[in-house]
Chains A and B, each alone.
Chain A
């Protein structure tokens, strides 16, 4: 029982990282129909930002969070502006296109930082943990969970309270109608990309707390993050949250009960089974289009 309960913060922190990654994907996918395989490399860029900044000041880990957001966000913006906007309406082509970009970015990281993994030293106040009701809570896991909560609340406030967020929801729901109503959809698209890629960068910084940083860091998480999007439903904040938590726990506990190699297969089977019941994911935007 103790071991089972100790799995809780691990499962939740996996979910938190998945959520940070999936948020960007679900909005770029839901809003623009773009499947961004290079999203994983934005995670990597965020992680390397934390690596480069460490030791610069005493609080460089906290500084790394906004810097990584900016670095990854600008990379996303550049990608959208230079290539992806030519490909709207061709989701499968964007998938392949961004995969090509991701190959180039990975090799670039290998040339810049070397192929071996590097380590980011966690700040002193994140080392150790606290016992709550006999449950061991490592500080780094708690921090990641807190970070994800802050980001999700931020995105939610943005979507519901700010004019820019309302415009974004309008474009997700009906692009043409939004355009006719005077919303500059192109600008909204670019901003969504900036936001989503930036969150991936933040996720990258969070990942340095639980493991080493390498050129292929992004590839480990991108597939699971896409599964979150598929299971949660496109462009749905609550769907992404629920699916990320479900997948994080499923991954965490299945690895604990069976061995890790079977866990991935079982997760895959579970998702196929889930799609039999809800082929569109947990939450669907109601519309009259044929599905």
Chain B
């Protein structure tokens, strides 16, 4: 058994034991970190394997989250009623955009399809024109900025700055009850596990190799007869769908979704964990996302101002001294005392 296998088993056991030992409050926090870890898997795919630095994952996280929140709000309001925030902002009739979200199947499909479709369209338009690298990063960031302004502006449709909150049920589970919360945690852990495996298989497949080839030498791949734009678009779409699923789980776990969680800064914060953990190693990205968010909770409880210094400083330190993240430090040490150095650019 390799070290990787052993640590994987240890992690699974720890995740399975968590509901038995942690208080409901701490378990909720862990479930939240797992949601961010799901986004991290997607980022590690797009950025680490594909070289696409996406600064707009918050958008896809938000699309998934809002789709889920709309369904939960409608379920709560019953067949005739309006969601509470609409009543407050003076909306009298359910907007047409909201109507289909009363159907759970439609809502679940939207969680996957809407972020996927947005990412696919953007990716196709951008990558086909060979807009890449920093240009793509800037565009994805601009998308995050525009998305948040749109959400805040459409008060009657989205709840504005406050977003949506006060969710009590989730597909028959009672979110106010510790057992319901444990079930939601279990779902989040399960989804993370499945998506981790999917990503792992993707990386190991022929497609995964092609993706790394596109990252390291896009022109060469094109000359070999492949279409790098398509490879990148598909990967970007997959990572967006993962972010969407994470957002949809985030809603019942945390009980709120609002523009403040989706803008430029939160989108970049999602990257911090991946950078710290190691963007080239999927498990490293997950561990990094969980660790960084745990550190954030820890510091926010005691001294909130210090966290921003620490987060900024941590980011700078990691990039200067360990550009491949903590997972890369192990690798670097191994390289130093082993034989073949592995060059990674991008």
Contact in complex: A262, B315 (CB < 8 Å):
no
Contact with A along B311-346 (1 / 0, CB 8 A): 111111001100100000000000000000000011
* Bound complex: CA A260 to CA B308 (Å): 30
A101 contacts the other chain (Cβ, under 8 Å)? yes
Partner of A111, one of B53, B143, B219, B305: B305
Judging by beta carbons under 8 Å apart, are A92 and B134 in contact? yes
A259 with B146: CB separation less than 8 A: no
Q: Is B154 an interface residue (CB 8 A)?
A: yes
What chain B residues lie within 8 Å of A91 (beta carbons)? 133-134
B126 within 8 A of A: yes
What does the 1/0 interface line of A250-279 toward B look like (CB < 8 Å)?
000000000111101101100110011001
For the complex, what is the distance from the CA of A121 to the CA of B139, rounded to whole Å? 36
Query: Quick one: given A264-B145, A290-B219, are A107 and B309 in contact (CB under 8 Å)?
Result: yes
* Docked-complex contact A265 and B126, CB < 8 angstroms: no
Q: In the complex, what residue of chain A is closest to B55 when comparing beta carbons?
A: A95
Query: A262 and B134: CB pair below 8 A?
Result: no
Alpha-carbon distance A276/B122, docked complex (angstroms): 11
Q: Which of the residues B53, B271, B305 comes within 8 Å of A107, measured between beta carbons?
A: B305
Question: What are the residues of chain A within 8 A of B135 when measuring CB–CB?
Answer: 230
Asked whether B138 is an interface residue with its Cβ less than 8 Å from the other chain, the reply is yes
In angstroms, Cα B320 to Cα A92, docked, is: 13
CA–CA, A223 and B305, complex, Å: 25
Contact of B149 among A97, A106, A260 (CB under 8 A): A260
Q: A261: which B residues are within 8 A, CB to CB?
A: 149-154
**Chain B residues with CB below 8 A from A52, complex form:** none
Min CB–CB distance A81 → chain B (angstroms): 14
Write the nearest CB–CB distance from B131 to chain A, whole angstroms. 5
A226: interface (CB < 8 Å): yes
Interfacial chain A residues near B305, Cβ < 8 Å:
107, 110-111
B16 CB → nearest A CB, Å: 34
Within 8 Å of chain B (Cβ to Cβ): is A18? no
Residues of chain B with a CB closer than 8 A to A227's CB: 138, 142
A93 near B319 with CB under 8 A, answer yes
A103 and B308 in contact, given A95-B53, A223-B142 (Cβ under 8 angstroms): yes
Of A97, A103, A262, A268, most buried by chain B (CB within 10 Å of CB) is A103
A99 within 8 Å of B by Cβ? yes
User: Which residues of B from 111 to 136 have beta carbons under 8 Å from A?
Assistant: 122, 125-126, 129-131, 133-135
The minimal Cβ–Cβ distance linking A177 to chain B, given in whole angstroms, is 22
Complex CA distance for A227 and B150, rounded to whole angstroms: 18
Q: Is the CB of A1 closer than 8 A to any CB of chain B? A: no
Question: Do residues A95 and B309 form an inter-chain contact, with CB atoms below 8 A?
Answer: no
Indicate if A245 sits at the interface (CB-CB under 8 A): no
Given contacts A83-B320, A99-B315, A107-B308, contact A272 B126 (CB under 8 A): yes
> Could you mark each residue 90-134 of chain A with 1 if its beta carbon is under 8 Å from any beta carbon of chain B, else 0?
111101110111111011001100000000000000000000000
Residues in B whose Cβ lies below 8 Å from that of A290: 219
Give A102 to B153 CA distance when docked, in angstroms.
Answer: 27
CB neighbours of B320 from chain A (8 A): 83, 86, 97
Query: Which interface class (under 10, 10 to 19, 20 to 34, 35 or more) fits B?
Result: 35 or more
- Please, which residues of chain A bring their CB within 8 A of the CB of B346? 92
Residues on B with C-beta less than 8 A from A226 are: 138, 141-142
B306 nearest CB neighbor, chain A only = A107
Contact present for A268 and B143 (CB under 8 Å): yes
Contact A276:B129 (CB < 8 A) given known A35-B134, A223-B264, A290-B219: yes
Contacts of B312 in A (CB 8 A): 99-104, 107
B150 and A279: CB pair below 8 A?
Answer: no
Contact A35 B137 (CB under 8 A): yes
- Of the candidates A97, A106, A279, the one whose C-beta lies within 8 Å of that of B319 is A97
Check if A95 sits within 8 Å of B142, measured CB to CB: no
Given the interface pairs A35-B134, A272-B126, the reply to whether A92 lies near B53 with Cβ below 8 Å is yes
Give chain B residues whose Cβ lies under 8 Å from the Cβ of A92. Answer: 53, 133-134, 137, 346
What's the Cα separation between A151 and B10 when bound, in Å?
A: 61
> How far apart sit A260 and B152, CA to CA, in the bound complex (Å)?
10
Q: Which residue of B lies closest to A290 (CB)?
A: B219
A3 touches B (CB below 8 Å)? no
A196 to chain B, nearest CB (A): 16
Q: Using CB atoms, name the residue of chain B closest to A269.
A: B146
Residue A219 CB within 8 A of the other chain: yes
For B274-310 the 0/1 string (1 means CB < 8 A from A) is 0100000000000000000000000000000100110
> A92 CA to B274 CA in the complex, in Å?
14
Q: How far is the CA of A102 from the CA of B309 in the complex (A)?
A: 10
- The smallest beta-carbon distance between A121 and chain B, in angstroms, is 29
Minimum distance in angstroms from A250 CB to a CB of chain B: 13
Q: Is B261 an interface residue (CB 8 A)?
A: no
Judge if A29 is at the interface, Cβ distance under 8 Å. yes
Q: A96-B315, A223-B141, A275-B131 are in contact. List 5 more A-B contacts (CB 8 A).
A: A104-B309, A104-B316, A219-B265, A265-B146, A272-B139
Residues of B within 8 A of A (CB): 53, 55, 122, 125-126, 129-131, 133-135, 137-139, 141-143, 145-147, 149-154, 219, 264-265, 268, 271, 275, 305, 308-309, 311-316, 319-320, 323, 345-346
Q: What are 29 A-B contacts with C-beta separation under 8 Å?
A: A35-B137, A35-B138, A86-B320, A91-B133, A91-B134, A92-B133, A95-B55, A96-B315, A100-B311, A100-B313, A100-B315, A103-B308, A103-B311, A104-B308, A106-B308, A110-B305, A219-B264, A223-B138, A223-B142, A223-B145, A226-B141, A229-B138, A230-B135, A230-B138, A230-B139, A262-B150, A262-B153, A276-B129, A290-B219
